[in-house]
Amino acid sequence: MKGKILIVDDDANMRESVNDNLEVEGYETAQASSAAEAVAQVKRTQFDVILMDYNLTDGTGIDAIQKIRALNSESQILMITAHANLDTALKAIQESVDDFLTKPVNFDHLKRAIAKSLEKMRLKQDLKSANDKNLRLSAMKSKFMSMASHDLSNSLMTLQVSFEMLAQSIKPDDEQVKKMRYISSGIGQISRLIEDLVDWASIEQGKFRLETNLFDAGSLVEETAVGPAARATVRGLTLKTELQPGLPTIAADKKRLSQVLNNLLENAIRHTPKGGTVTMSAEKAVDNGVECVRFAVRDTGDGIAPEEVGKLFQSFYQGESASGGGRLGLGLSISREIVDSHGGRIWVESAGLGQGAAFLFTVPVGKA
């Protein structure tokens, strides 16, 4: 079937001749001689195209169209008007009508207009069903990731605890100690990956929550520096902290902000060659008129090409130089979510490749 068409016109001759022409083309047709009859038909049947005469005995086609649109937004409506009415008709219903034709009707024009409308309607339907499918797939993906990462997280916890108990109960020789260190660092790496996945899944599902506490911005920096400072030393780098005196107490999620700083430090350490310096700092700032603390992690390392700057914060994005290493490219996107949920802002500054990079973020002081 080519399509269902309703012909609305108070002139019976006109209706019949349009009807005959369309039937020959293989369309299924129906007729209505008034606005009321048209509305009644639309209530019963889903038409693909409605041909609407402008002048009807019981009102204008415009009233009929408004009533039809209230019932159904999918049918294509083609308005047929006399030249004299064109302007008024156009103004009144431009939005709810799909095309205009003028009288006397040229059948070739009419057929082309109908074919075009049908094509438009089918494209719209395809697009809608593709969209629906995408939404469903995306919801399934988040749900699956969330379930899988929680299961993995539980199994890993069991593995970790069993391994620690085993380690305490045996007296390993040197070779065994070496192997146990591999196992332990492997477990550590996998748990960091899984933590990122769990965070990402909860962000995707809109379940990411902050726990606010009151703390001193300086202590956050000092405490977060401990682990990374040791790693920096091992890699032949210097990790410095710079704190402006008199930093305020802030009301924020300390664990989450520490996670952001850890992410930035981990990246900086990885992207800075031996002999370089990573500096973590905190200072007071005003951003968009709001009192904030501005944190920064600067390095003297690889730097970032201008064309990459806009992509770093996307989920799963990893730069060209990122060579496996069991990472996922989620660190910065999770960091951005954490900073955004605090009402702050995170961004990167770099003069280009080889010029080092600085990641900065603000956290509003809040009602501390």
Ligand X SMILES: Nc1ncnc2c1ncn2[C@@H]1O[C@H](COP(=O)(O)OP(=O)(O)O)[C@@H](O)[C@H]1O
Q: Which residues bind Mg ion (CB under 5 A)?
A: 267, 331
> Is the peptide bond prior to 104 cis by the omega test (within 30 degrees of 0)?
yes
166, 186 in Cβ contact below 8 A? no
Least distance from ligand X to the Cβ atom of residue 222, Å: 21
Query: Does residue 328 touch ligand X according to CB under 6 A?
Result: yes
Least distance from Mg ion to the Cβ atom of residue 332, Å: 6
**Of 9-17, 114-122, 251-259, 261-269: span binding ligand X (CB under 6 A):** 261-269
Contact mark string toward ligand X, 332..351, x via CB under 6 A: x-------------------
Selected from 357, 361, 364, 365, the binder of ligand X by CB under 6 A is 357
Query: Does residue 202 touch ligand X according to CB under 6 A?
Result: no
179, 317 in Cβ contact below 8 A? no
Q: Which is nearer to ligand X, 93 or 221 (CB)?
A: 221
The 3-class secondary structure across 144-205, one letter per residue, is: HHHHHHHHHHHHHHHHHHHHHHHHHHCCCCHHHHHHHHHHHHHHHHHHHHHHHHHHHHHHHC
149, 201 in Cβ contact below 8 A? yes
Query: Does residue 319 touch ligand X according to CB under 6 A?
Result: yes
Query: Does residue 271 touch ligand X according to CB under 6 A?
Result: yes
Q: Which two tokens stand for residue 267?
A: 């990246």
Type of residue found at 43? K
Residue linked to tokens 């040791």: 230
Type of residue found at 175? E
Please give the residue whose beta carbon sits closest to ligand X in the complex: 319
Selected from 8, 197, 250, 312, the binder of ligand X by CB under 6 A is 312
Separation of alpha carbons 145 and 200, rounded Å: 9
282 touches, from ligand X, Mg ion, none (C-beta below 5 to 8 Å by class): none
Query: Does residue 262 touch ligand X according to CB under 6 A?
Result: no
Cα–Cα–Cα angle for 177, 178, 182, nearest 5°? Answer: 115
Q: How many CB atoms lie within 10 A of CB 211?
A: 9
Query: Does residue 329 touch ligand X according to CB under 6 A?
Result: yes
Type of residue found at 180? M
**Of 124-132, 149-157, 241-249, 263-271: span binding ligand X (CB under 6 A):** 263-271
Label residue 133 exposed, middle or buried (CB < 10 Å: 0-12, 13-18, 19+).
exposed
Q: Which is nearer to Mg ion, 229 or 269 (CB)?
A: 269
Query: Does residue 203 touch ligand X according to CB under 6 A?
Result: no
334, 263 in Cβ contact below 8 A? yes
Separation of alpha carbons 75 and 301, rounded Å: 60
Q: Which two tokens stand for residue 335?
A: 């960091």
**Of 31-39, 140-148, 171-179, 296-304: span binding ligand X (CB under 6 A):** 296-304
Least distance from ligand X to the Cβ atom of residue 63, Å: 58
Q: How many residues does the chain have?
A: 368
**Of 21-29, 140-148, 153-161, 325-333: span binding ligand X (CB under 6 A):** 325-333
Phi, psi (5° rounding) for residue 361? Answer: -150, 150
Q: Which is nearer to ligand X, 203 or 312 (CB)?
A: 312
Q: Which is nearer to ligand X, 197 or 220 (CB)?
A: 197
Least distance from ligand X to the Cβ atom of residue 160, Å: 22
Query: Does residue 322 touch ligand X according to CB under 6 A?
Result: yes
Separation of alpha carbons 86 and 286, rounded Å: 58
42 touches, from ligand X, Mg ion, none (C-beta below 5 to 8 Å by class): none
Query: Does residue 194 touch ligand X according to CB under 6 A?
Result: no
Least distance from ligand X to the Cβ atom of residue 65, Å: 52
Please give the residue whose beta carbon sits closest to Mg ion in the complex: 331
Can you give the binding site for ligand X, defined by CB under 6 A? 263, 267-268, 271, 299, 301-302, 304, 312, 317-319, 322, 327-332, 357
